[in-house]
Amino acid sequence: MKRYEKFADEIAELIHTGVLAAGAKLPSVRHASRTYGVSPSTVFQAYYLLEDRGLIQARARSGYYVREQGPLPMPEPGPPSAQATEVGVSELVFSVLGSLKDPHTVPFGSAFPSPDLFPLPRLARSMAHALRHLSPHEVIADMTAGNADLRRQIALRYMVHGVMLPLEELVITNGALEALNLALQCVTQPGDLVAIESPTFYACLQVLERLQLKAVEIPVHPRTGIDLDQLAERLERMPIRACWFMSSLQNPLGASLDDDKKRALCQLLKRHQVPLIEDDVYAELYYGNQPPRPVKSFDDEGLVLHCSSFSKCLAPGYRVGWVAAGRYAERIAKLKLMTTLSPSVPAQAAIADYLQHGGYDRHLRRLRHALETQQGAMLASAARHFPAGTRVTQPTGGYFLWFEFPEQVDALVLFKLALAQGISLAPGPIFSASQGFGHCARLNHGHPWSAAHERAMDVLGRILHSF
Ligand X SMILES: Cc1ncc(COP(=O)(O)O)c(C=O)c1O
Residues of the shown chain interacting with ligand X in the complex, contacts defined by CB under 6 A: 111, 175-177, 201, 246, 251, 279, 281, 309, 311, 321
Q: Which is nearer to ligand X, 15 or 325 (CB)?
A: 325
The amino acid present at 319, given as its one-letter code, is R
In whole angstroms, the minimum distance from the beta carbon of 402 to ligand X comes to 13
All residues at 6 or more sequence positions from 366 whose CB lies less than 8 Å from its CB, including other chains? 117
User: 396 in helix, strand or coil?
Assistant: coil
What's the maximum distance between 2 C-alpha atoms anywhere in the chain?
Answer: 70
CA pair distance 97, 110, nearest whole angstrom: 8
In whole angstroms, the minimum distance from the beta carbon of 95 to ligand X comes to 17
Q: Which is nearer to ligand X, 177 or 443 (CB)?
A: 177
Q: Which is nearer to ligand X, 64 or 403 (CB)?
A: 403
Provide DSSP, 69-88. SPPPPPPPPPPP--S-EE--
In whole angstroms, the minimum distance from the beta carbon of 321 to ligand X comes to 4
CB atoms within 10 A of CB 7: 21
Please state, in angstroms and as integers, the Cα–Cα distance from residue 39 to each residue in 12, 15, 26, 216, following that order. 19, 22, 16, 58
In whole angstroms, the minimum distance from the beta carbon of 202 to ligand X comes to 9
Q: Which is nearer to ligand X, 193 or 285 (CB)?
A: 285
Q: Which is nearer to ligand X, 126 or 250 (CB)?
A: 250
Residue nearest to ligand X (CB): 175
Q: Which is nearer to ligand X, 47 or 282 (CB)?
A: 282
CA pair distance 49, 8, nearest whole angstrom: 7
Q: Which is nearer to ligand X, 46 or 351 (CB)?
A: 351
Q: Which is nearer to ligand X, 20 or 295 (CB)?
A: 295
Q: Which is nearer to ligand X, 66 or 177 (CB)?
A: 177
Q: Which is nearer to ligand X, 61 or 101 (CB)?
A: 101
CA pair distance 214, 353, nearest whole angstrom: 41
442, β-bridge pairs: 402, 426
In whole angstroms, the minimum distance from the beta carbon of 280 to ligand X comes to 8
In this structure, are residues 292 and 283 in contact, taking their beta carbons and an 8 Å threshold?
yes
**Measured distance between the N- and C-terminal CA atoms of the chain, rounded to whole angstroms:** 44
In whole angstroms, the minimum distance from the beta carbon of 346 to ligand X comes to 17
In whole angstroms, the minimum distance from the beta carbon of 393 to ligand X comes to 15
User: 241 in helix, strand or coil?
Assistant: strand
In whole angstroms, the minimum distance from the beta carbon of 309 to ligand X comes to 3
Q: Which helix (H) or strand (E) holds 8?
A: helix 3-16
How would you classify residue 173: left for phi > 0, otherwise alpha for psi between -120 and 50, otherwise beta?
beta
All residues at 6 or more sequence positions from 125 whose CB lies less than 8 Å from its CB, including other chains? none
In whole angstroms, the minimum distance from the beta carbon of 249 to ligand X comes to 9
In whole angstroms, the minimum distance from the beta carbon of 200 to ligand X comes to 8
Q: Which is nearer to ligand X, 77 or 175 (CB)?
A: 175
In whole angstroms, the minimum distance from the beta carbon of 410 to ligand X comes to 24
CA pair distance 357, 355, nearest whole angstrom: 6
Report the candidate in 161, 156, 138 with the shortest Cα–Cα distance to residue 294. Answer: 161
CA pair distance 455, 464, nearest whole angstrom: 14
In this structure, are residues 399 and 445 in contact, taking their beta carbons and an 8 Å threshold?
yes
Provide DSSP, 289-348. S-PPPPGGGG-SSS-EEEEEESTTTT-GGG-EEEEE-GGGHHHHHHHHHHHT----HHHH
In whole angstroms, the minimum distance from the beta carbon of 271 to ligand X comes to 26
* Inter-axis angle of helices 451-465 and 360-385, nearest 10: 40
Q: Which is nearer to ligand X, 26 or 172 (CB)?
A: 172
CB atoms within 10 A of CB 321: 22
